[in-house]
Amino acid sequence: MKAYVDEIDSPAGPLAFAVNEDGALMRLHFVESDYGPVMEEELQGEGYALEADEARTAGVRTELSEYVNGRRKTFDAPLALVGSEWQKTVWMELTRIPFGETRSYGEIADALGRPGAARAVGRANASNVLPVVVPCHRVIAADGTLGGFNGGLHLKERLLQHEHNVLAAAGS
């Protein structure tokens, strides 16, 4: 199995990402993350051989660049989601949170027809390996505080501020 790796600058610092042989995004990692091993170590631990191939990563690179430059608010790249059915359901719900908006863990649970499952939503959020594209940074605590974030709250703050700035510049 091969994974094709690349990196792009973002408002949250450098983002490393990997696509599979079909071009589907399989990992996105904050290089300045506070937590966990680096993406490359995780992929190698799962048996992937890593290669750089700009042609294979071009589609995701373009979409991430457009997001960084304020020209993209949703992503169209294919996703290689690996997780339980619940996790995948939560992750897909996260993609429905509009750019620049937030939802609470409880609101996500309610939207999925599982009132009271806010903690389960939080656990699914914590296992999201495609942040930004599956925008877990847009999920906050019910009291309006940021809650947690795998990369560290400083990165969540940067992403939310970026989206706020893009909307403010557009007059939204």
Same domain for 32 and 97, yes or no, is no
Domain of residue 46, CATH code: 3.30.160
Give me the domain span that covers residue 36: 2-68
Give the number of domains in the chain. 2
Tell me if residue 100 falls in helix, strand or coil. coil
Same domain for 135 and 63, yes or no, is no
DSSP3 helix / strand / coil % (the chain, rounded to 5): 40, 15, 45
Pairing of strands 2-8, 49-51: parallel
What is the tens place of the pLDDT at every residue in 126-152? Answer: 999 999 999 999 999 999 998 878 778
Q: Which pTM was predicted? A: 0.92
Is residue 116 assigned to a domain? yes
Same domain for 95 and 127, yes or no, is yes
Same domain for 92 and 164, yes or no, is yes
Segment 26-47 shows an average pLDDT of 86
Q: How far apart are CA 94 and CA 26, in angstroms?
A: 17
Q: How far apart are CA 143 and CA 104, in angstroms?
A: 8
| Percent of the chain predicted with pLDDT > 70 | 97
Segment 16-38 shows an average pLDDT of 88
Query: Active-site residues: which are they?
Result: 136
What is the tens place of the pLDDT at every residue in 84-126? Answer: 999 999 999 999 999 999 999 999 999 999 999 999 999 999 9
Same domain for 44 and 91, yes or no, is no
